[in-house]
Amino acid sequence: MKIMQILVLILFSLLGQSNVWGLSLTYAGFECLNPIDANDLTPTETPIQSRLEVIEDLGGGMFRLSLTGGIPRFVNNSQNVCIDNATALGYSGIPALDGLPKPLESIDATAYFNGKDLVIVISSLFTDLSARRDPFSSFSTSQILTITNTLILEFDSQAFAFNLKKLIHNRGFTHTRSGSINSIPFLETLIPSFNEVAQDKPRVLTPASTVEYLIE
């Protein structure tokens, strides 16, 4: 117990230093072949690293992180793991500045650490870039997925690393298209949770194999 207390104190010391931006958590794996199917764990041959770097100390155990590479994708009762790069980072774009939305290379995350448990929340937007307008002025926007991933990790004092214990994954859906009659010019679909079927519940996932984030 004393050894763990010392390691936790060291970790808090690192987090409290002025060079807090040098502290990262990393997990190495292979990129997921399917960009959006959360049940498809088929990996590519492309190695990739999920990296969470501390960029700001907000006080009270709260930190702002920068995520690059993506996050582990897994399902209950399967040993397979790949790294979801596409939906975990998502897209961003302002028409006047960017034209079409573009895939992000990094995204902000928010974390809370109490000395043992680390909770990280990441929100992203994914688009299929399918927006279109036909010659008769009817239109359809892209299909937009709103993604929230909450990672729950536990500090491993022996490995001086964090083990991923739970992942809460939720995917919402929004889409707008032209209405068929003048009284309903727009048809908007907004579904807060659409993981398997419309209006289902967020998925609570437990990795069947060890997912260890090393402290660097």
The beta-carbon contacts of 141-146 under 8 Å, at least 24 apart in sequence, are 141/175, 141/176, 141/177, 142/175, 143/173, 143/175, 144/173, 144/174, 144/175, 145/36, 145/87, 145/171, 145/172, 145/173, 146/171, 146/172, 146/173, 146/174
pTM given for the model: 0.87
DSSP of 154-214: EEETTTTEEEEEEEEEEEEEEEEEEEEETTEEEEEEEES-BSSSBT---EEE--SS--EEE
Q: What's residue 24's pLDDT?
A: 92
Q: What's residue 18's pLDDT?
A: 44
Q: What's residue 15's pLDDT?
A: 52
Q: Where are the domains of the chain?
A: 2-215
Q: What is the pLDDT along the chain (216 residues), one digit of tens a residue?
A: 444 444 454 554 555 444 455 589 999 999 999 999 999 999 999 999 999 999 998 989 899 999 999 999 999 999 999 999 999 999 999 988 888 899 999 999 999 999 899 999 999 999 998 888 877 668 888 999 999 999 999 999 888 899 999 999 999 999 898 877 666 778 888 999 989 888 889 999 999 999 999 998
